[in-house]
Amino acid sequence: MKKRTNINTKVCNKCSKPFDKSLFRFRKSRGYYSSKCKECEAKVNNKYYITNVNIVIKRTTDRRKQRLKEDNKYKQRVYSLRNTWGNNNKDKVSSYNRNWSIRNPGKKSNYTAEYRAAKLKATPLWLTKEQKEQIRQVYRDCPKGYEVDHIHPLQGKDFSGLHVPWNLQYLLMSENRSKSNKLLI
């Protein structure tokens, strides 16, 4: 049997050297210190990971995938609840958006400027004057309650469309806002 030299000292079962208790892991669930020092424990764990690397990688990727699935389910539930609430409380939503624009003029102008810059970047240099005039005319003739929408979004997820007359259409405001930067087919 190994003797302890001090109350704050413990002997490692693996290397048989006495160490301060701070060099042993304390197992809260069991209420005692580990029998191996942290250094010996690390060697054993590393040996396990080296010999079972494929098992460890598969286990961690499976856990990560499961966590992502759970996160996506939660996000979808939150989005659907938010959309349902938004559809049932359109007055509150529009009032909130209006008040936010008033309270945050800098952010509002920044978003507008970013959109304008994206539109400018998406406008090809080879457009003729007549085509540029057609674009202006589309915006001028937009019916009340509608917005000018890009059929192929300027900042799409998989691709980006151009700011050209044949890529413009009229959409109801609600349809355009719900479409966001997706391609409707």
Domain positions in the chain: 9-51, 123-185
Q: Rounded CA gap, 68 and 85, in Å?
A: 25
Which distant-in-sequence residues (6+ apart) come within 8 Å of 3 by Cβ?
Answer: 11
For helices 53-88 and 90-103, give the axis angle rounded to 10 degrees. Answer: 100
Residue 114 reports pLDDT greater than 80: no
**% of the chain exceeding 70 in pLDDT:** 96
Identify the pLDDT of residue 91.
93
Residue 4 reports pLDDT greater than 70: no
Q: Rounded CA gap, 12 and 9, in Å?
A: 10
Burial 100-116 (b: 16+ CB within 10 A, else e): eeeeeeeeeeeeeeeee
**CA distance readout (Å), 9 to 5, 17, 35, 38, 40:** 7, 10, 12, 14, 16
**What are the φ and ψ backbone dihedral angles of 128, each rounded to 5 degrees?**
-85, 170
Q: What are 23-67's pLDDT values in tens digits?
A: 888 877 777 888 888 888 887 777 777 777 788 888 888 888 888
